[in-house]
Amino acid sequence: MADLIVTDIREKNTIFDKEKMFGKGHLGSNVQVIYQDYPAGGQTQILRGDFTLSTLFPLPPYDFAKGGSAKSPVKLPFRLQASTLFVNGYHKLYYKEKAKKMQRNCAVLTSHWNVSDLKIPEELEAEATFEGKGKGTYFFDYENHCFVSSQVTLHTKMYVDLKSDTFKSLNKTTVDATIKIALKLMKVEEE
């Protein structure tokens, strides 16, 4: 278990080759993101946000040495009409090597995940597919027990056809998106 605390958040977005900076003032001067008892392995059973955190700050479910790996199941909620279904898959984390990053001694972890197993009960009379795939590289300071950086690419494809005569124009939804996220530790304040 770990307590994940993120403070003084600054964000830079690049959309269509235009950069936009969001500083601490944009989000609120006292913004903190706190996730208490963050689970090893980042396994998710109910909250979609847990999966997001586990892709940015993955923890293995057990100790492993260089060359080791750990595979964890992932279960994401999927809303279809008034029903909550689940998309199943896995997240696999590898301990690649040790390296220096920002003058810190780090373990280099890599990961990939595939969350694409969605079964639609025939009673719903709808079609839906979901494919979530991604990969990441992480530098973890094993002496001070904190993440130094994360670089993640997420690719999501989704198709929904509700097959209803009501609101026909809203019945079909298609998503095909790639998101790239890079996080960097700026400082750690000791209390």
pLDDT at 40: 58
Task: Calculate mean pLDDT across residues 120-133.
Answer: 90
Task: Calculate mean pLDDT across residues 135-150.
Answer: 91
pLDDT at 100: 95
pLDDT at 168: 63
pLDDT confidence band for 126 (50 / 70 / 90): confident
pLDDT at 62: 77
pLDDT at 27: 39
**pLDDT, tens digit, 9 for 90 and up, residues 151-186:** 999 899 999 988 776 656 667 888 888 888 888 887
Q: For the residues of the chain, what is the DSSP string, one character each?
A: -EEEEEES--EEEEETTEEEEE-HHHH-TT-EEEEEEEPGGG--SS-HHHHHHHHHS---SS---TT-EEEEEEEEEEEETTEEEEEEEEEEEEEEEEEEETTEEEEEEEEEEEEEEE---GGG--EEEEEEEEEEEEEEETTTTEEEEEEEEEEEEEEEE---STTGGGSEEEEEEEEEEEEE-------
pLDDT at 179: 84
Q: pLDDT: is 3 or 45 the higher one?
A: 3
**pLDDT, tens digit, 9 for 90 and up, residues 6-62:** 666 566 666 666 665 544 444 333 444 555 565 555 454 434 455 666 777 787 777
pLDDT at 181: 83
Q: pLDDT: is 11 or 113 the higher one?
A: 113
